[in-house]
Amino acid sequence: MMGSTIAVILGGGAGSRLFPLTKSRSKPAVPVGGKYRLVDIPISNCLHSDIRKIYVLTQFNSASLNQHVKNTFHFDNFSSGFVDILAAEQTPSSHQWFQGTADAVRQTFRYLQNHRADKILILSGDQLYQMDYRKMMQAHDEAGAEVTIGTIPVTASDATGFGIMKTAENGLITSFIEKPAHDQLQDWKSSVSDDLRSQGKEYLASMGIYVFNIDTLKNLILENPEAVDFGKEIIPKAIESEMPVASYKYTGYWTDIGTIRSFYDANLELADPLPQFDLYAPGKRIFTRARLLPPSKMYGTKVDRSVIAEGCIIDADTIEHSIVGIRSRVGEGTIIRDAIVMGSDFYPTLEELEESTPDYPAMGVGSNCHIERAIIDKNARIGNNVRIIGGDHLEEVKNENYSIIDGIVVVEKNGVIKDGTVI
């Protein structure tokens, strides 16, 4: 059954709510968990679900995403599987960029129909979850559906940010509303278990994960050329046409990495003793680029509830409840707490370390620093005696080298923080 399915991973638009992490990269290319990128999540889910034909649709700030996919996912010569990039392009029928999720699939559909597939699985490239898509496919077939939407129960406070739906007893969707207002929610409650009701999760929200029969998808996107988005236009039109559209109710961990706060929280949860997103679960490991880095080494550092990626050189005093990414260099006496340090793309040479100055420190985190409630992006240069202490009391700021968003200090990629700086 899985051999007849093609997966399409949407690369996303400008990702303005994740700025400055998306200043020079697309959302799916944002590093997560110390050594991965967000796009690794849906691709790994596909591979564990025996889906081997995967397209990644890219457009905005796509160079690093394209490079990562090209360097990471390879199949042997005896396999028909692939992970290929489909970038936005001008064609005789379209001279525009992708205008939305549905338009991206419409503009690339000629490539999708070149394969003998009867289903298209549409996925987002900026979500954190572990799903066996085979179960969703099976539910799709058993319901006799032409479209199936992955759904998850959410609370009233979250419901206004999602497409919300109601279903009949047979699991088919009867009505759908995109991002309802608070005063509309009372009419959109669904029948859920007592446990979910006690948590206030009485609304079925779209996860942005769709299964389409390929002929159904073709008809929907070609017969509605003005429709550019799945959630806002294509899905409502499918329901209005009275074709069988099913809900696949997912009960596992899932989070949308749409904001700096959600990115920060989801990453730090990985350092919990038993995180909901389990990087160590048998049969669910996340695949990423094999960099063949040396093991990390630490000198007199107290480490608690933290994830330390490979290739790090750490001389810090304390690392607590933090994520420390690949090739991170942390100087003597430094305290890192409730923070994400993404690491570096390469090591500074001994000459570069010796030539560093107070105004232009070496790559990494210097000595005697205190970094708390912060995100330090790749290749940042943090000098000595720097204090970066985030908190909800801080006003939002966007400077040349750092921003403050939701009380979290974000030092941007290649950012420079001089010796003695206090933020």
Residue type, 177: I
Indicate whether 374 belongs to any domain. yes
What per-residue confidence (pLDDT) applies to 417?
97
Widest CA span in the chain: 70
Instruction: Say if 311 falls within a structural domain.
Output: yes
Domain check: are 302 and 265 in the same one? no
Highest mean pLDDT among 105-109, 273-277, 410-414: 410-414
Tokens (6 digits) for 348: 């500074």
**Residue 118: left (phi > 0), alpha (psi -120 to 50), or beta?**
alpha
Highest mean pLDDT among 237-246, 273-282, 334-343: 334-343
Is the domain of 60 the same as that of 153?
yes
Domain count, the chain: 2
Q: Model confidence over 99-118: pLDDT tens digits?
A: 789 989 999 998 888 888 99
In a domain, 290, yes or no: no
Q: Look at residue 76 and tell me whether its pLDDT is greater than 90.
A: no
- Say whether both 60 and 109 belong to one domain: yes
Tell me whether residue 278 is in a domain: no
User: Does the pLDDT at position 122 exceed 50?
Assistant: yes
CA dihedral (209, 214, 217, 218) positive or negative: positive
- So what's the pLDDT on residue 387? 98
Quick check: is 254 in a domain?
A: yes
pLDDT digits (tens, 9 = 90+) for 314-344: 999 999 999 999 999 999 999 999 999 999 9
pLDDT in the model for residue 186 = 86
Give the residue numbers spanning the domain of 333.
297-417
Q: Does a structural domain hold residue 159?
A: yes
Domain harbouring 362, CATH code: 2.160.10.10
Helix (H) or strand (E) holding 353: helix 350-354
Q: Are residues 174 and 241 in the same domain?
A: yes
Structure tokens at 93: 């029928």
Is 265 in the same domain as 355?
A: no
CA-to-CA distance for 15 and 281, rounded, in angstroms? 30
Task: Supply the CATH number for residue 145's domain.
Answer: 3.90.550.10
192 lies in the same domain as 338: no
The reply to whether 359 and 307 lie within a common domain is yes
Same domain, 134 and 221: yes
Q: Is the peptide bond before 225 cis (omega within 30 degrees of 0)?
A: no
Question: Residue 357: inside a domain, yes or no?
Answer: yes
> Burial code of 358-369, b = ≥16 C-beta within 10 A, e = fewer?
eeebbbbbbbeb
| CA atoms within 13 A of residue 359's CA, in its CB half-sphere | 0
- Among residues of the chain, what percentage have pLDDT more than 70? 97
- The 3-state DSSP class for residue 248 equals strand
Q: Is residue 261 part of a domain?
A: yes
Domain boundary among 250, 269, 288: 269
Structure tokens at 59: 């457009």
Whether residues 26 and 139 share a domain: the answer is yes
Provide the pLDDT confidence category of residue 90 given band limits of 50, 70 and 90.
Answer: low
361 and 401, same domain (yes or no): yes
Q: What is the pLDDT of residue 200?
A: 87
Average pLDDT, the chain: 92
Phi and psi angles of residue 106, each rounded to the nearest 5 degrees, phi first: -60, -45
**Residue 197: helix, strand or coil by DSSP?**
helix
* % pLDDT > 90, the chain: 74
Residue 169 confidence class, pLDDT cut points 50, 70, 90? confident
- Same domain for 232 and 351, yes or no, is no
CA 121 to chain centre: 17
- From the list 363, 362, 357, 317, the residue with the least C-alpha distance to 341 is 363
Query: With bands split at pLDDT 50, 70 and 90, how would you rate the model's confidence at 1?
Result: very low
Name the residue with tokens 């806002």.
232
